[in-house]
Amino acid sequence: MIRHPARLWKVSGEKISCGVCARRCMIAKGGRGFCGVRENTDGVLYANSYGLLTAANLDPIEKKPLYHFLPGTTTFSVSGFGCNFTCKHCQNYTLSQTRSIPAEYVPPEAVVQEAILLGAKSISFTYNEPTISFEYVYDTAKLAKEQGLTSAFITNGYLSKEALLELAPFLGAIRIDLKGFTDEFYKTVCGARLKPVLDTILLSKELGLHLELVTLVIPGYNDSVDEIDAMLDWVMTNLGPAVPHHFTAFMPMCHMQDVPRTPFSTLDRIYRQAKAHGLYYPYIGNMPHADGSKTICPECGAVLIDRDGFAEHTRGVEDGHCTTCGRKIEGVFSHEDL
């Protein structure tokens, strides 16, 4: 266990108030926050998972998924363990829903050096929820930026405003799970609330971070026409049409083994709903779809990038512009755009 001083906390009576995530846990002496890795030791808050990595892999950036952030490049993905959600369908539950797991201490300097040696263009904090490793993410992303690398924060969106404001200067992109669009879904399936996630999405947009959304579509839980319409209405009203939104297929996992896979018909209907609402860049993930993996120019309809899995086959965008009509395409297509 690494005892690293935590950030963003204050003493509140005989407890410590942790300010890293939206739960704002009140932690008694000797106790830990909901995440299990932030501990009050004699009135001082420590981040006990600092630098303890459970995975470090070179991935296509599209795997995050990020389709408009340095497409075609690789990212160095790192993860810890634990989470501030309790999602019944978690695809990485062996990492997220544990409070103790074999892990290797890797200092920020080593992560940045390895990313550079591997030729990655970014570092992604991913697999488990990176918010609970706030101090490590902050130190690593700051050092990465000093060394010419950018960073991507792959998150459930349940971090506090203060945490995002501190991290934002060192992030190139934030990819947020918008898991559903009712508070009931968040409460019963994720053990959380919807509003803090929406607040993080709005703040990310306000801060000018490159933002992409992901919604895992679970049959019978968050896939109704009305709920998707409400979600798309909110996105169009608050974010506009240009934020990429990935709708991905659910596969039976964790505590939802009895729920069927998402049928193609549902994802196809949602893709058409998104287009009808005016979204420029809806995507379909975890399932083949004729148009759902393509980046299409909103102006002329040319296929800018066609993907087979995480591999690109068409490149109709140059210097961030459509090569057919010249329209500027929203996203980060080179480091000069950061």
pLDDT in tens, 49-67: 999 999 999 999 999 999 9
Q: Same structural domain for residues 42 and 137? A: no
Binding site annotation covers 297? no
Q: At 208, is the pLDDT very low, low, confident or very high (cuts 50, 70, 90)?
A: very high
Q: Same structural domain for residues 66 and 215? A: yes
* Long-range contacts at 262-269 (CB < 8 A, ≥ 24 apart): 262/217, 262/218, 262/219, 262/223, 262/286, 262/287, 263/219, 264/289, 266/217, 266/219, 266/223, 267/217, 267/292, 269/225
pLDDT of res. 101: 74
Judged by DSSP in three states, 10 sits in: strand
* Tally of domains in the chain: 2
What is the C-alpha to C-alpha distance for residues 92 and 10, in angstroms, rounded to an integer? 31
Q: CATH number, domain at 100?
A: 3.20.20.70
**Sign of torsion over alpha carbons 91, 92, 94, 97:** negative
Instruction: Classify residue 288: in a domain, yes or no.
Output: yes
Specify the pTM.
0.97
pLDDT of res. 98: 66
Q: Same structural domain for residues 72 and 43? A: no
Q: Same structural domain for residues 125 and 31? A: no
Instruction: Classify residue 220: in a domain, yes or no.
Output: yes
What is the C-alpha to C-alpha distance for residues 78 and 57, in angstroms, rounded to an integer? 7
Q: Same structural domain for residues 34 and 101? A: no
Q: Pull the structure tokens for residue 118.
A: 């591997």
Q: Same structural domain for residues 31 and 120? A: no
Q: At 222, is the pLDDT very low, low, confident or very high (cuts 50, 70, 90)?
A: very high
Instruction: Classify residue 284: in a domain, yes or no.
Output: yes
Mean pLDDT of 62-82: 96
Q: Same structural domain for residues 32 and 77? A: no
Could you tell me which residue, 165 or 94, shows the higher pLDDT? 165
Contact 103, 40 (CB under 8 A): no
Amino acid at 80: G
What is the C-alpha to C-alpha distance for residues 126 and 76, in angstroms, rounded to an integer? 10
Instruction: Classify residue 130: in a domain, yes or no.
Output: yes
Contact 236, 278 (CB under 8 A): yes
Count the Cβ atoms, other than its own, within 10 Å of residue 191: 15
Q: Same structural domain for residues 72 and 181? A: yes
β-strands 15-18, 9-12: how paired? Answer: antiparallel
Instruction: Classify residue 94: in a domain, yes or no.
Output: yes
Binding site annotation covers 83? yes
What is the C-alpha to C-alpha distance for residues 175 and 66, in angstroms, rounded to an integer? 7
Q: Same structural domain for residues 41 and 60? A: no
Per-residue pLDDT at 47 exceeds 70:
yes
Q: Same structural domain for residues 166 and 200? A: yes
Find the domain containing 32 and state its range. Answer: 4-47
pLDDT of res. 100: 66
Contact 139, 108 (CB under 8 A): yes
Nearest to 9 by CA among 130, 129, 134: 134
Instruction: Classify residue 145: in a domain, yes or no.
Output: yes
Instruction: Classify residue 310: in a domain, yes or no.
Output: no
Q: Same structural domain for residues 175 and 215? A: yes
- If you search the block for the tokens 């994720």, which residue do you land on? 190
Q: Pull the structure tokens for residue 25.
A: 């846990």
Contact 75, 152 (CB under 8 A): yes
